[in-house]
Each structure stands twice: as structure tokens, then as C-alpha cells.
Amino acid sequence: MSRYQIVTFQEALDIVESLPENQQENLIEVIQHRLIERRREKLAEHVREAREEYRRGEVRFVRVQRMTL
């Protein structure tokens, strides 16, 4: 059995709205920090992939003008 119960988006909103204001603000901060960290991890992964492609010689250099055509 799963540790987490699945709730709808509306149910989640209702739960959050039932919290005291300071806890709602804390929750917003936690979620924002987690989103930032996820984006940071994705960016780091893209950089690792690009470096590996460069190392394998799979990167082509083109002028910006050619990319916009």
C-alpha cells in the first residue's frame, strides 16, 4: 500500500487553504525552492549531455544567422 494518498488538485487547494496563513507562506517557499532545484538539476543534466556530445565530437558549430533561417 502506498504511503501517499492521491488527492485532486482542488482537494490539495482546499487543504492548503485550511492551513494558517504563515504555514501557507512556508509551503509556497518550500515549493518554490523545490522547483528551482529541479530546474537547476535539469540544467546541470543538459550541460553534462552537451559536454559529452562535445567530447564525442557530435557538436557542430554554426553561425547564429544560419540558425534563425
The reply to whether 59 falls in a domain is yes
| The total number of structural domains that make up the chain | 1
pLDDT tens-digit series, residues 17-66? 999 999 999 999 999 999 999 999 999 999 999 999 999 999 887 777 76
**pLDDT the model gives residue 61:** 79
**pLDDT the model gives residue 1:** 47
pTM score:
0.68
The reply to whether 2 falls in a domain is no
| 33-63 per-residue burial string, b: 16 or more CB within 10 A, e: under 16 | eeeeeeeeeeeeeeeeeeeeeeeeeeeeeee
The reply to whether 56 falls in a domain is yes
The reply to whether 51 falls in a domain is yes
What does the CA dihedral 4, 29, 11, 38 come to, rounded to 10 degrees? -50
The reply to whether 3 falls in a domain is no
Rounded CA-CA distance 44/54 in Å is: 15
**pLDDT the model gives residue 12:** 96
**pLDDT the model gives residue 64:** 78
Domain that includes residue 54, residue range? 9-67
The reply to whether 29 falls in a domain is yes
